[in-house]
Amino acid sequence: MTSSTAPCLSVTSTDELRTRAWRALDRCGVVLPAASSATIQARTPITGEDLFAYPQASADDVSAAIAAARTAFAVWRVVPAPVRGAVVKRLGALLAEHKADLAELISIEVGKIESEALGEVQEMVDICDFAVGLSRQLDGRTMPSERPGHRLMETWHPLGVVGVISAFNFPAAVWSWNTALALVCGDTVVWKPSPLAALTAAACSALLGRAAAECGAPENLNVLVVADAQAGAVLVDSPDIALLSATGSERMGAQVGPRVAARFGRALLELGGNNAAIVAGSADLDIAVRGIVFAAAGTAGQRCTTMRRVIAHESIVDQLTDRISRAYERLVVGDPLTAETLVGPLIDQRSYDCMRAALDQALADGGEIVTGGTRHAVDGFPDAAYADPALVRMPAQTEIVRTETFAPILYVLTYTDFAKAIELHNGVPQGLSSAIFTRDQREAEQFLATDGSDCGIVNVNIGTSGAEIGGAFGGEKSTGGGRESGSDAWRAYMRRATNTVNYSAELPLAQGVTFA
């Protein structure tokens, strides 16, 4: 499992990637901010090299962005929701028009293969469609009042400025989940993307700015700040950020959540996932293998919904492991801009170091690496981090198995009793996505039941990755408890008011109280 055993890869040159990035940015209408004394380096994991410098926002810049969004909110909140929806409709059209440009930037900046990058942009288009429909359905309830001549109801109102902190692995989609809903709800947005994906963020923001201008909406509905963690902390602590939606590690969430709570703000946290699939003895292994391989190896294991554990029945575990191993050995690792590639690079050298350390610990815990883990050298680019997805048999669910390693490592565990499988499944701190492969309806229903999976996403005969925008996305336990995207996730972006209207000529008090 050393780089010397793997073939040397050839990838697109940094100069070519730089040219392609500039062209995509230009087609999206990006005008880079004025140069500042501080910059970050836009970088590509394809070669592991820098593309060019991008101006970095200071703490004062973040404060100014919040103030600008707050001013825009005062205007935007009283615009009728269906009119707000028109801006999001136009954004969706522009995203579809520039789908190839955005996907290329995503591939260049974070290393996604073409189909996954295009899929991420399509997800943005889809959430815009969802939000446009939602703009005519921000409805409250009318409840029966115990007092005659009274009406009891609830109404929903815009919340304020929403701070969005997004991670590198979905550099565009997560922003769109938040922003499309926030805008139709009457909120404005300040967006701090991962510095690893500044170019994608600039392109998305430019398209939204164009949509707003064409629809006559106020400026600064969405304000982009490319900042480091220190400057980004202004978003966390500002009382003018009504809702902070943060996607990232469990460690980040443990720091952010209490600070937002201390100022009585709202936090929507989407944190780590240590997602598992139970594979029953009755499972259709053709479906199981396909679902497992995509969920475990897709995006080079860098999704929050990546499958990291398989809990297989003893009767099929050897056969299943062998089939996954053979599928892994057919995966093409390489340049994500090449059509046949299925697994692109890890985001950086540090990610591979974490992967290698986890594999070493798994071996120390008695595990067996069935296949994968090999580092690929790249012609002329020593800092590019490409690795074969690893499949590891484990004797028990050790601490390293219970820890999310953001890399393509899949641990295989064995069970005999279904209750033990559920115990293993739930025996990790994280609670994002889960799956079971079975043809036994009783097992499927038990997995979905209260005493089954403890995750926010619970699937049957499908992998842990690939959620649709129509359902609420998020998880429990150390995943943070947040919900984004579909269903009734819009409620997080609004405040609720309970209203009582007395249309009678009397003033009866609730609960029959008399007060002369």
Q: Residue 403 half-sphere exposure, CB side, CA atoms within 13 Å? A: 13
CA-wise closest residue to 168 among 82, 5, 42? 42
Could you tell me which of 433, 173, 473, 458 has the C-alpha nearest to residue 306?
A: 433
Residue 363's SS3 state is helix
Q: 128, 185, 204, 304: which is the annotated catalytic residue?
A: 304
Q: Which residues sit opposite 152 in a β-bridge?
A: 143, 500
Helix (H) or strand (E) holding 424, with range, is: helix 418-426
Query: Is 270 a catalytic site residue?
Result: yes
CA 16 to chain centre: 29
> In b/e form, how buried is each residue of 131-142, taking b as 16+ CB within 10 angstroms?
bbebbeebeeee
And the tokens for 324?
């996954």
- Distance CA(306)–CA(292), nearest Å, equals 9
Residue from 270, 404, 443, 484 carrying the catalytic annotation: 270
Q: Return the residue matching tokens 């020593």.
A: 382
Other C-beta atoms closer than 10 Å to the C-beta of 252 total 18
407 vs 502: CA distance, rounded Å: 60
Which residue from 54, 96, 43, 103 is spatially nearest to 202, judged by alpha carbons?
54
- Sort 381 into a burial class: Cβ within 10 Å, 0-12 / 13-18 / 19+: buried
Classify 332 as helix, strand or coil.
Answer: coil
SS3 for 20-77 is HHHHHHHHCCCCCCCCCCCEEEEEECCCCEEEEEEECCCHHHHHHHHHHHHHHHHHHC
Q: Contact at 8 Å (CB) between 221 and 189?
A: yes
Distance CA 394, CA 235 (A): 42
DSSP-assigned beta bridge partners for residue 244: 163, 267
Q: Which residues are catalytic?
A: 270, 304
